[in-house]
Amino acid sequence: SIDMLMSSEKEEDPDVIPEDSSLLTLRIRKKALERREETIIVDRACRQETLTYEMESHATGKRPDNPTDLIEEGELLLTLNIFYPVIFQKHKDHKPYQTVLVLGSQKLTELRDSISCVSDLQIGGEFSSQPDQAPEHISKDLYKSAFFYFEGIFYNDKRYPECRDLSRTIIEWSESHDRGYENLQSLKMEDYVFNDLSLKIGFPYLYCHQGNCEHIIIITDIRLIHHDDCLDRNLYPLLVKKHWLCTRKCFVCKMYTARWVTNRDSLAPEDPCFFCDVCFRMLHYDAEGNKLGEFLAYPYVDPGIFN
């Protein structure tokens, strides 16, 4: 009966703003709507908006098939903003970031595995002479070290024997002179879960991998898990928001995403120049596969590859 007091009696269409409203909010909104109707020809959600909405809400309410994967009450849910390392001029006011939801009981390594950065996929080396032999090994497999920096402690990834302690240089540097940083420690990433850490909300922390690819991490929210959240443990860390980066297209066909970049290319109009695979081979190699002209070619991975 309490609910009845709130809603109105007759059927109403929530899309129509009532004419004689006493609410200032509605009057303002009505004017904005009318303006929109005049100026916009087709008024529907663009694909970026659909993507954002889908990402935010695709996991709400999900339950796992396996009951052991159910998240219990009292679990903490952290919201992290992980900033991209790209630096473009157009981003100087709003640096692009992805938002990830992480459970308190998850290990730091799980977060590390879920961060997708374009520098992980880079392939090093110049391959103008042997385009077909571009190796399959991406940087992610070659340089496995990474660390997180939270509150004065470096958490290094030591799961594989190739992983090195990247933070050692920093610790040695801070200890060499009295630079005003209190003792920085170095610990193993795989031994800790988020519940063990003491964190500040809104304070920038660091994730470093590949030796010099650094991402700023900011924690925006910590809250208890809720009935309406996704309760399937396997889906966490969950990506809820991603920045859409426009991919660079091939210079020739302007259709496919660039896969090769050339420098000092006598056949290309600009330096550097981007090509998709097909156009690259057609332009730079003849039917037998011989190299035409002088150039340096590198495999290129576009930052927008995760769109």
Partner 1 sequence: MSAVPGLREDCEELLGAFQQADTVRFERFAELWRERRFHTIFYGRIRALERNKLAKKTLELAQQYFFPPYSFQIRVGALYLLYGLYNAQLCQPKQKIRIALKDWPEIQKFQQDLLDSQHYDAAYIFMRLRLARAFHFTAMPKLLTYRTKKKIEENYFKEEFKDPSNRVNSLITNDVLEELMNIHDHYQKMKCVISADKSQPDKALSLIKDDFVVSLKDITLEHQEWQQNRMKLLRNAKVTPEAENKKKEETLLESEGSERANALARIKYKSYSAVVEVSRSRRHRQVQLESSESGSSCGKSPSRSKKASRTPQPARRGEMQVAEETVTRHIGMPVITEEDSGE
Query: What are the residues binding partner 1 (CB under 8 A)?
Result: 2-3, 5-8, 12, 14-18, 21-30, 33, 43, 45, 49, 52-53, 56-57, 60-61, 81, 93-95, 97, 201-202, 218, 220-224, 226-228
Pick the closer one to partner 1 by CB: 106 or 262: 106
The answer to whether 238 and 59 are in contact (CB under 8 A) is yes
Pick the closer one to partner 1 by CB: 14 or 269: 14
| Longest distance between any two alpha carbons in the chain, whole Å | 83
Pick the closer one to partner 1 by CB: 222 or 292: 222
Question: How far apart are alpha carbons 296 and 302 in whole angstroms?
Answer: 18
Question: How far apart are alpha carbons 44 and 56 in whole angstroms?
Answer: 19
CB of 242 to partner 1, least distance (A): 14
Pick the closer one to partner 1 by CB: 147 or 194: 194
Pick the closer one to partner 1 by CB: 42 or 287: 42
Write the CA distances from 20 to 8, 15, 27, 85, integer angstroms. Answer: 15, 15, 9, 51
CB of 30 to partner 1, least distance (A): 7
The answer to whether 154 and 173 are in contact (CB under 8 A) is no
For residue 202, the tally of other CB atoms under 10 A from its CB is 10
- Of 100, 103, 96, nearest to 80 by C-alpha is 100
CB of 86 to partner 1, least distance (A): 16
Pick the closer one to partner 1 by CB: 5 or 287: 5
CB of 221 to partner 1, least distance (A): 6
CB of 68 to partner 1, least distance (A): 24
DSSP state at residue 249: B
Q: Which amino acid is at 291?
A: K
- Phi and psi at 131, nearest 5°, equal -65, -25
End-to-end CA distance of the chain: 48
CB of 202 to partner 1, least distance (A): 5
